[in-house]
Structure 1
Amino acid sequence: MGDENKILTVQNLTVDYTTFRGNVHAVRGVSFEVNRGETLALVGESGCGKSASVKPIIGEDASNQVIKGGKIIYRWQHQGKLEEIDLLKITAKEMQRKIKGRQIAMVFQDPMTSLDPTMRIGKQIGEAVASAHSKLSKKKIDERVRNLIATVGINRVETVAKQYPHQLSGGMRQRIVIAIALAGDPQLLICDEPTTALDVTIQARILDIIKKIQKERHLSVIFITHNLGVVATIADKVNVMYAGKVIEKGTIEDIFFEPKHPYTWGLLESVPDVDAPQEALPMIAGTIPDMTQRIIGDAFAPRNEYALDIDFVKEPPMFEVSKTHQAATWLLDKRAPTVQMPRSLQKRINRMQGENNGK
């Protein structure tokens, strides 16, 4: 049946979106794994395919979405046995009845798209609990609602339960959305930019809540963000995405201390550094390619100051840096010239490593 520690395996997922301009090749053969109890972060600029890679996991498909190929294998324990299913091969009804909310839940960027503005908070959470646990009594449901509100760090449980979404702040609404996501006791939680619209202080609180819940429930988490600063506080593993592909993957230490792809260098350099003199943040020049067109070679080549001739001709394979670390860049080919990361980034990494070692 496969590795019991792996709760999710995505293999060569390919997703298009039909538009009036032609097919957008949003996901171009993405593969990744999520282990039980760990957080995998998917990182990259807007439009790189992060959300499009995870929405098929939970059956969140747009009318113009076309899944061209791949597998999404989900594994869970059922009556002492390890069950395994390809989520791309089940019906929408099966997804709704067996998987969505019960095994896998999702938290979106804008909580108002997930909340009913005409319904009190307690009733919305109660409906989610009743849907996942149909045999519970009204008393037990109410008890679970109160526990869920408290679980996401809200003290005024009874007051908040009686309020409507518009009466809560953005941070409070996002906590309620997390509570609803937890109502069915899922094993895998997908968080799609859940803190982007919040200020930095509230953002940190939401991240702390997610980490606390994950530890208490031994949840697996897929965390989608464009912000590597957020990733540093929450992830165990990181997949860096560009133009519908994973272009670097590794542990949090691999990506932050030993980044190998020039795109990853650019993302790391664009994170504000509170310990360095305030200067203009470096930006990655150019924009992502037109995803309706066939990409020849390395999709990042036109924006890559370190690009080699081969980058414009042939797509690089994933080169193994270590057992936990891989990157798709021709710079790792043994025939390539030696190229060092930007000095400013190396200085920052050296300082981070010193702090990490307690120096």
Structure 2
Amino acid sequence: MSQTVLEIKNLQVAYQTEHGEVQAVRGIDYQVQKGETVALVGESGCGKSASVKPIMGEKEANQVIKTGEIKFTYQSKTGEKTIDLLKVNAKVMQSQIKGKEIAMVFQDPMTSLDPTMKINKQVAEAVKASYPDLNKLQVKQRVLELIATVGIQNAEVVQEQYPHQLSGGMRQRIVIAIALAGNPSLLICDEPTTGLDVTIQAKILNLIKHIQKSRKLAVIFITHNLGVVANIATFVNVMYAGKIVETGTSEDIFFDPRHPYTWGLLTAVPDVNEQVKKLPTIAGTIPNLTQPIVGDAFAPRNNYALKIDFEQQPPMFRINQHHYAATWLLDKRAPRVEMPALLQTRIAKMKGAGEADGK
């Protein structure tokens, strides 16, 4: 099978509102390879979820796909198949793709689970939707296998319980089990650890990482917190105001960030080892996306903004073969600007810790 599971080209998504047309996604491009996790990171309102909904065929009444392609490659009954998800009709999407070839894990598991149904029935529904030829015993066995796959040891007991009888972390594991029922090629995780305590967050992240590696899944991981994706993502796309402003491997983004917005996100991640009176923040708010954006959308919040930032949108400057950033600071004519001292210190510590672990 082709290594490229998903390829997005120039996707532009808008929403019609009473205040005008919101340009939620303003032209993004990226790929997701088999066995890789690509993280979409950015503040609320930057276009992360809006860019993913078309992949799942979720079309809201006021949504407009301006342009773009979403090529999805999967193994069908007749062999490898590549389709443009934007051209697939709703019936085919619902019966053949959604929940089977492409599955999604949402932020709040209670929005995905029926509070009136036992866990085994809910997982069984997902199994039967993907494998209608299985008999009753085979479905039951598959349900127990899926529950065990997501790290729940007492599957026989848990399957007889209702969602409200489980902890938040257990419920999220069940949602992941349901997502895996159809053996999908692509798994989309939309803020799957938000609302969980730090210990449970780590366990869910490790679970997703384990499943991704063992099944060679392609994963899209959406979050507002760069710290969450440090150990799970292969590639990171930093989004701002509907565009990808920096893209690279996890090592690129965490050890050699180049965009001032990425600097801000990384600096805003709390560090328990630092003695600070006030947590660093990114001043200001995202721009009004109902209005045309001139220049760099981040310019009004950028302490390092140049005159050209307010006049012309920066292109993606190449840093290495897999690392790009859309900032005029990378233009050879721009003045040399260093990243914030606090972030330099953190990166030096991380590199030191990594070298120590290597030894």
Whether these two folds match at TM > 0.5 is: yes
Determine which of 303, 306, 329 is the counterpart of 2:304: 306
The C-alpha deviation readout for 1:12-38, integer Å capped at 9, x for no partner, is 000011111111110000111001000
Residue of structure 1 in register with 2:119 after alignment? 121
Residue of structure 2 in register with 1:143 after alignment? 141
Residue of structure 2 in register with 1:38 after alignment? 36
Which structure 1 segments of 5+ residues have no match?
none
Residue of structure 2 in register with 1:225 after alignment? 223
SS of alignment partner, residue 260 of structure 1: coil
> How far apart are 1:270 and its partner, in Å?
0.4
Report 1:1-359 matches (<5 A).
Answer: 4-78=2-76, 81-358=79-356
Q: Could you tell me the percent identity over the aligned residues?
A: 65
What is the distance in 1 between the residues matched to 2:76 and 2:41? 32
SS of alignment partner, residue 213 of structure 2: helix
What is the distance in 2 between the residues matched to 1:114 and 1:8? 24
The C-alpha deviation readout for 1:112-143, integer Å capped at 9, x for no partner, is 11111111110000000000001111100000
The code of the aligned residue for 2:351 comes to Q
What is the distance in 1 between the residues matched to 2:215 and 2:161? 27
> How far apart are 1:168 and its partner, in Å?
1.2
TM-score by length of 1: 0.97
> How far apart are 1:159 and its partner, in Å?
1.6
> How far apart are 1:278 and its partner, in Å?
4.0
The C-alpha deviation readout for 1:23-74, integer Å capped at 9, x for no partner, is 1110000111001000000000000000011111011222211111100000
TM-score by length of 2: 0.97
The C-alpha deviation readout for 1:142-191, integer Å capped at 9, x for no partner, is 00000111111112212211111111111111111101000000011000
What is the distance in 2 between the residues matched to 1:357 and 1:139? 52
The code of the aligned residue for 2:35 comes to G
Q: Does 16-25 or 122-131 show the bigger shift?
A: 16-25
Q: After TM superposition, where is structure 1 displaced by more than 2 Å over at least 4 residues in a row?
A: 77-82, 274-279
The C-alpha deviation readout for 1:75-113, integer Å capped at 9, x for no partner, is 123468431100000101111112111111000001111
Matched length = 357
The C-alpha deviation readout for 1:289-345, integer Å capped at 9, x for no partner, is 011111110000000010000100100000000001000000001111111101111
What is the distance in 2 between the residues matched to 1:358 and 1:315? 41
What is the distance in 2 between the residues matched to 1:80 and 1:353? 48
> How far apart are 1:277 and its partner, in Å?
2.3
The C-alpha deviation readout for 1:184-237, integer Å capped at 9, x for no partner, is 000110000000111111111111111111111111110000111111021110
SS of alignment partner, residue 346 of structure 2: helix
SS of alignment partner, residue 305 of structure 1: coil
What is the distance in 2 between the residues matched to 1:279 and 1:58? 43
Q: Does 13-22 or 76-85 show the bigger shift?
A: 76-85
Which structure 2 segments of 5+ residues have no match?
none
The code of the aligned residue for 1:77 comes to Q
